[in-house]
Amino acid sequence: MNNSAKKITVSILGASGYSGAMALRILLRHPDVTVGKVFGTTAVGEKVHNLYPSLRGLTDMVYEEYASDKVADSEFIFLALPAGHAMNVVPEILESGKKVIDLSGDFRLKDPGLYKEYYKGDHSALSLLDSAIYGMPEINRKAIASTSLLSNPGCYPTSAIIPLAPLLKNNLIEPDDISISSLSGVSGAGRKSSVDLSFAEVDGSVKAYKVGDHQHIPEIESILSGEAKKDVTVNFVPHLLPAVRGIYTTTFTTPRKNVTSAQIEDAFHNAYADEPFVRHLGKQVPELKSVVGSNFIDIGWKLDKRTGKLIIFSAIDNLVKGAAGQAVQNMNIMSGFDEREGLL
């Protein structure tokens, strides 16, 4: 619960996009939050409920053009901006004493060389890279509680890292033999995606994209390497799914010699039995429809005796646990609120 009776005020930059709008939807129902301002450069002057009719009756807010003086009363700023934009405003926001939750990839990678390689641009806030905390509560809760600059994980990495982390941490699988196949709904591409990522093009089909050079590859590898305390390499292939929301990930791994089903089960149980948004299903295979609209990640697994492979399944909502929901979960931790507030 909130340790004080005081509400916090939160403003959102990029609130006209899917992730920003989802953050707004969650924050509007959060009992300890007042939403200050919403900003959207392509929707300035437009009422929120005209862009998102489902919010009609919940808010009469209007999208504004961002200026730092407009967020003077906000303790938290959510940034739901395209990659390469957050880094331009974060230094000024932090200097004003506010806390930042960045939903883009601008502060997920500590190595500016990797950022340039995968995000195709130079980083303009190098001095902040080391101080940014990776916001995955299941592995980083203590550091999250004390940070002012929170880098929210990517959607694909969330679906891959949470299932793999306890296995690597307990040395149960080979760190150089991990293949991840993920399928995402088209909302993951954002509101202003290209024609080939639109639902009209994807409907009735499934296709892989950005094979071998997706920007989430170094994020997955760097976080898992930290958990394993050794270098981890992965094959990662994302696919577009003919659905609006959700990510379904199947991961193929090689167990280390003599690893048993009981050890795998214990690793998951010990890591996640008390986690409020991780549902470990054991050998039951999760379904996408069970998580869409929620902040849960469902995890299942099977040890294939014929091939010797450990196959892990996970399902999340890409806009909630994969973006805005996890961001609010992090905000709750940073504010001393009940972690589940606004998310159940």
The 10s digit of each residue's pLDDT in 118-128 is 999 999 999 99
Site of tokens 């504004």: 64
Pairing of strands 310-316, 297-303: antiparallel
Note whether 94 and 175 are same-domain residues: no
Per the domain annotation, does 310 fall within a domain? yes
Q: Kindly state the average pLDDT of the residues 316-337.
A: 98
C-alpha distances (whole Å) from 277 to each of 63, 264, 287, 290, 295 are: 31, 20, 16, 13, 6
Give residue 1's pLDDT band: very low, low, confident or very high (50, 70, 90): very low
Domain membership flag for residue 344: no
Residue with the bigger pLDDT between 293 and 5: it is: 293
Q: Is residue 2 part of a domain?
A: no
On whether residue 73 sits in a domain, the answer given is yes
The distance in angstroms from the start CA to the end CA of the chain is 14
Residue 198 resides in a domain: yes
The angle at the Cα of 190, spanning 186 to 196, to the nearest 5 degrees, equals 55
> Residue 95 contacts by C-beta under 8 Å, 6 or more apart in sequence?
none
Distance (Å) of CA 219 to CA 29, 267, 290? 31, 23, 26
Answer whether residue 192 shows pLDDT above 90: no
**Position 267, amino acid:** A
What pLDDT, on the 0 to 100 scale, is given for residue 187?
Answer: 81
Q: Residue 263 above 80 pLDDT?
A: yes
Closest by Cα among 250, 252, 230 to 170: 230
CATH code at 102? 3.40.50.720
Task: For residues 298 and 187, state if they share a domain.
Answer: yes
One domain, residues 141 and 162:
no
Residue 86 gets which letter from DSSP? H
Q: What is the mean pLDDT of the chain?
A: 94
Query: Which whole number is the average pLDDT over 318-322?
Result: 98
**Tokens 């200026």, residue?**
67
Active site residue 321: no
H or E stretch including 89? Answer: helix 86-95
pLDDT band at 42 (very low <50, low <70, confident <90, very high): confident
Of 15, 93, 155, 271, which one is the catalytic site residue? 155
Model confidence, pTM: 0.94
User: Do 164 and 131 share a domain, yes or no?
Assistant: no
- Give residue-wise pLDDT tens across range 205-244: 999 999 999 999 999 999 999 999 999 999 999 999 998 8
Per-residue pLDDT for 188 more than 80?
no
- Give the whole-angstrom CA distance, residue 122 versus residue 91: 16
Please state, for a pLDDT cut of 70, what percent of the chain lies above it.
95
Give the domain extent around 113.
8-153+322-335
Q: What is the pLDDT of residue 294?
A: 98
Is 239 found in the same domain as 218? Answer: yes
CATH number of the domain within which 189 lies: 3.30.360.10
User: What share of the chain in percent tops pLDDT 90?
Assistant: 91
